[in-house]
Amino acid sequence: MSAQPQTIPYLTPQEYLAIERLAEYKSEYFDGEMFAMAGASRAHNEITLNVASEIHSQLKKRPCHAYANDMRVKISATGLYTYPDIVVLCGPPRFDDNQKDTLLNPTVIIEVLSDSTEGYDRGKKFQHYRTLESLQEYVLIAQHECRVEHYVRQPGNQWTLTETHDLAGIIQLSSIQCQLAVLDIYDKVFS
């Protein structure tokens, strides 16, 4: 006996948001479908907390906001709703609706690479992110080795890449006037 294919109903963005706001776990949304997000490893959590803490402390007393893990971002041009590991913006936040849980104007997005999402984070997801006019910097952080990739928007929507494998390195996040020491990013990760 063969299994019958199941028809997955198309969800509107409004239906997705209604379901997502009541859900016990996070899901991304694109093109009418919801995609459940997997849990993160210990290293992933350490890196996310290290980076968010460093940025948060540097943004004190400034009109900037940093969010880790749970701030949904909508890419209006493509319709993707996603949860970056870290989102930063300077200036007034713009939200999708009065719930104020879906950000439209991130300045910096940081993703900690997982085995299951690395290709997506580098490829299609970054393609979506590049359509955000507000986005100035995109950072990818490996969790199994010392490797940080830093993309910076240039005039004409071009992006330059700087990569470091050096624990003594410094990542300059010029758009938000912050810096990240690579040693601090990986604090307690490889021990």
Quick check: is 175 in a domain? yes
Quick check: is 121 in a domain? yes
pLDDT tens digits, 41-78? 999 999 999 999 999 999 999 999 999 989 999 999 99
pLDDT tens digits, 9-51? 799 999 999 999 999 999 999 999 999 998 889 999 999 999 9
Assign residue 74 the CATH number of its domain.
3.90.1570.10
Structural domain count of the chain: 1
Q: Is the pLDDT of residue 4 over 80?
A: no
Quick check: is 87 in a domain? yes
Q: Are 142 and 113 in contact (CB under 8 A)?
A: yes
Q: How far apart are the first and last CA of the chain?
A: 51
**pTM metric for this prediction:** 0.93
Q: Find the domain containing 126 and state its range.
A: 40-185
Quick check: is 88 in a domain? yes
Q: In what order do the strands lie in the sheet with 158-164?
A: 64-68, 86-90, 108-112, 137-141, 148-154, 158-164
Quick check: is 35 in a domain? no
Quick check: is 24 in a domain? no
Q: Are 84 and 106 in contact (CB under 8 A)?
A: yes
Identify the CA nearest to 66 among candidates 182, 148, 180, 183.
Answer: 180
Quick check: is 100 in a domain? yes
Quick check: is 90 in a domain? yes
